[in-house]
């Protein structure tokens, strides 16, 4: 029996975190092809619908050859029905952190895999609790600038970990790529890493 070669893996992302997360499970993409799409939520769009649409739109926006498979992802923070994307500035980051302080929110990450004329999408939801953050701690956090480029204005893998006593779900999904689900989707099309 002849074995067909697995497709080349293309990571459709500019996020260094997603590249590092893939490397963690022994996967090194053959190419990086970031997508530049409009990330504005639609009117009355739910956070779950939004994050799925974003991952799919990234996947559809990137040119792809027949022997390639494209992985894209999108991460957003949801407080109730409210979508917290990447803060535009320090003030917005402060408002997001105040909203999350002392309560639970959800982090939604959708991954899309496009290959052979088909796109599949998977959504992973994680609950995160933040302890109450006082004004002095918030100022010090914001001054360090770690809120930039992060959904909701924080990174669980950074200094904001000090505010997070509890999560339920997937840590890697909060950082930007749910590794167990990603490995399973890639393995289904013949792409395996060191641990899969
Ligand atoms: C909540 C949270 C988000 N983030 C990051 C992951 C994502 O990079 C970012 C959310 O933005 P995304 O739009 O998902 O991704 P991106 O613009 O950084 O990269 P690309 O679209 O090219 O793939 O927030 C963390 O790193 N840690 C966290 O704890």
The answer as to whether 194 is a domain residue is no
The answer as to whether 13 is a domain residue is yes
Collapsed DSSP state (helix, strand, coil) of residue 48: helix
The answer as to whether 68 is a domain residue is yes
**Residue 111 has which token pair?**
């991954």
- The helix (run of H) or strand (run of E) holding residue 173 is helix 171-175
Report yes or no: 189 and 4 within 8 Å, Cβ to Cβ: no
Q: Global pTM?
A: 0.95
Tokens 């052979």 sit at which residue? 116
Q: Active site includes 89?
A: no
> Which domain, by its residues, includes 42?
8-188
The answer as to whether 82 is a domain residue is yes
The answer as to whether 131 is a domain residue is yes
Determine the residue of 13, 14, 15, 128 to mutate for testing ligand 1's pocket, defined as the one with the most ligand atoms within 8 A of the Cβ atom.
15
Specify the CATH number for the domain of residue 78: 3.90.950.10
Whole-complex ipTM? 0.96
- Pairing label, strands 68-79, 82-84: antiparallel
Q: What is the pLDDT of residues 125-166, one digit of tens each?
A: 999 999 999 999 999 999 999 999 999 999 999 999 999 999
pLDDT at 4: 81
User: What is the spatial distance between Cα 67 and Cα 124, in angstroms, rounded to a whole number?
Assistant: 27
Determine the residue of 62, 150, 160 to mutate for testing ligand 1's pocket, defined as the one with the most ligand atoms within 8 A of the Cβ atom.
150
The answer as to whether 110 is a domain residue is yes
User: What is the spatial distance between Cα 16 and Cα 46, in angstroms, rounded to a whole number?
Assistant: 27
Instruction: Count structural domains, the chain.
Output: 1
Using 50 as the pLDDT threshold, list the residues of the chain that sit under it: none
The answer as to whether 165 is a domain residue is yes
83 beta partners: 78
User: What is the spatial distance between Cα 17 and Cα 176, in angstroms, rounded to a whole number?
Assistant: 7
């Amino acid at each position: 029996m002849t074995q067909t070669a697995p497709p080349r893996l293309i990571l459709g992302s500019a996020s260094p975190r997603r590249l590092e997360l893939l490397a963690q499970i022994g996967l090194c993409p053959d190419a990086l092809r970031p997508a530049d799409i409009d990330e504005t939520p639609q009117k009355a769009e739910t956070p779950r619908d939004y994050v799925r649409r974003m991952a799919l739109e990234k996947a559809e926006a990137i040119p792809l050859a027949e022997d390639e498979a494209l992985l894209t992802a999108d991460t957003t923070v949801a407080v109730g029905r409210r979508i917290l994307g990447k803060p535009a500035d320090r003030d917005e980051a402060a408002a997001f952190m105040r909203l999350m302080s002392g309560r639970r929110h959800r982090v939604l990450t959708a991954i899309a895999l496009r290959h052979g004329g088909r796109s599949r999408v998977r959504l992973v939801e994680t609950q995160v609790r933040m302890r109450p953050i006082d004004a002095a701690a918030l100022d010090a956090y914001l001054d360090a600038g770690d809120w930039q480029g992060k959904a909701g204005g924080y990174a669980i893998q950074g200094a904001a970990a000090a505010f997070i006593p509890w999560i339920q779900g997937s840590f890697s999904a909060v950082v930007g790529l749910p590794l167990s689900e990603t490995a399973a989707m890639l393995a289904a099309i013949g792409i395996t890493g060191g641990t899969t």
